[in-house]
Structure 1
Amino acid sequence: MASRRVLFGTRVTLVLVTLVAILSFATGVINIGVTEVSGPLATYIPEDIERAAGFTGALTGFLMLGSVFGLRRGLRIAWYSTVFLLPVTAIQGLAQSSIFSTPLIALSLLSLPFVLVNYRRFDRNIDLSTTQLAATAALVGTMVYGTAGTYRLREDFANVETLLDAVYYTIVTASTVGYGDAIPTSQQARLFSISVLVLGVASFTLALGSLLGPAIEARFAQALGTMTERQLELLEDHVIVLGYGDLTEPIIDELDGTTPFVVITPDQDAAAKLNARDIAVLSADPSDEDPLHRASIEDARAVVAATNNDANDALAILTAKSLNADIRVVAGATDRENVEKLRRAGADTVISPMVIGGHLLVESALGDENVETVADQLLESSGGSVPGG
């Protein structure tokens, strides 16, 4: 079951979609300047589409890479865009005569079922701030205003005849490129062009600021150990460690390098130290549902709760079991009387290191010479090493 989940998991899906994006871009670059299409659909393709077939593949490839970025963040809108773009890349592959066309068609058709199967993994909505929404609206509004106005005043412009010409003029003006091939020829057109230029510069600046600002803030937050989303996006068949305490460090040492895992702890200092060691960590309360969803508890292999506070562990276990009743939960009890309480909270296995250690010490004090051997065997069976051995 685990191998099947990995085979059809998000990692494989992202690899396939990324390959489609690269091939789509490659075929687009190779076919730049091609004016005729010799593929099996050549007789059915309109002339305008034939002329555009030389470069649309590169554009689709860029759009697909944007979708891959969105998929890595688990965005639902990226899932929709990928489902839409994969058939487009397949059709473009049929329409093009490049040597990359056949692999592009095959990978596009192969990737689509993987994307569809992993629908529930991409369930995050885009969380845009008021500033970002305003910047997007300003940018779109400027483009609509510039395009509609230029097309309406097309008789007052040189080399502006079609709607595409109006879009082209608006983009080169608002972006301050200004090639000079489409120019205003009347006073009214010049005044309108000035308004497009001012609005375009303002909207582009606002859009860049609203997008780059949160990215810079995210970098600072990651450096402080408060957010490691990129480490969490592709986790599956992993272990979730709830909380951080004296018993957690040996658990991390055992998991590190052998099994993918993520730690959820409200301790900011502990989160920063773990993040500095490149350990996936969420700075949040492990008894809350949101961080457990972000840690993909639905696809986790197991949950481990072993801090110095059995009450907090019990609450975190209850939350974990409510979100995934089938997940295996292992708990470490600090006090012996809390063992049964942790079991009732939902823990499948409860281990009390203090009780075990005390029992071994008592047996050794009473003359049992095999105690040290038993302890060594416990370490060896768990993959540990015997000090000095």
Structure 2
Amino acid sequence: MTPRHRGPDYVTLRRESPVPVWLQIAWRGGLVIGLLALAILVHWFERDGLRDSYDGHVSFLDVIYFTMISITTTGYGDIVPISTEARLFDALVVTPIRIFFVLIFIGTAYTFVFRRTWEKWRMQTIQRNLCDHIIVAGFGTSGSEAVDELITRGAPPERIVVIDPSAEALDRAHSLGCAVMEADATRDKTLEAVRIKAAKAIIVSAGRDDTSILITLTARHLSPDISISIAVRNADNELLARQAGATTVINPVSFAGLLLAGSTHGAHISDYMADLASSHGRVQLAEREVDPEECGSPLSAIAKGLGVRFYRDGRPYGFWEPEAAALKPGDIIVEILPTAASERELD
């Protein structure tokens, strides 16, 4: 979206240009001066091909004046080219330089005034309207897989905000249609800029456990009720992540170990576990609150899917336990549902 604003208290989406503003202006100014100097030099050496109707003498100041007027306008007619060489130079070189000057001036004005003003206003509007969105802090392997899965499950890309300190990591997220921010997600200012208090959830996968836990602490401090999912690599840090305020802690290394261990007990166990975790397979896990018409019915009789577990007052119950004989208002059901792909197969 737009480059970051340089003010101390404002952060916008997208990333900053790798070329500083002063250098962009400097090279454009240098190009203009270089072309102008070239035209003056050629006119000076070909001054015998110019005629001054005022005093009949063409001085160096007259050459500068004639060149400036010729490049910025069509001329006043007081100094005119009379030789074939001077006319050809004006027609084939000076006229294109005049057009090029106009393009440079218009392009510079657009880049540094109009576009930045427009993009700043647009980003402010987007940020003001962010609501019920998902923040992804870290766009490495796990973060990018999470975004792909969110989009596959139907999350609108414009409702996903990706934060990462690396501009290269944000290119793909930006191409997917996500709003992106090149910034440090451990800072209060960054998370406030993406309206964390209005967000639906935040996924934290910074690549380092200490950074991910610090982001979790910052997020929980700013938004006490937000759902926080964090990926940690070291099992010792799982407790720390929960103490930092994480709602869900995922250890990809441990999960891979579970899949490997499950595969030793059957060739299809790990395949089914991976199928449940992804929306690309034939089934998927879903979580929802019990419907009013399901209250009083057993977990096995829910209407939408296959109930495998439910949570009551924060405690999990399996489908085989006595509490599963009658669901109550407020229970949270975990069920297995067919994916859209498997439903299309039935059609």
Higher strand share: 2
User: Do these two structures clear the TM 0.5 threshold for a shared fold by scoring above it?
Assistant: no
TM, length-normalised to structure 2: 0.45
TM, length-normalised to structure 1: 0.40
Higher helix share: 1
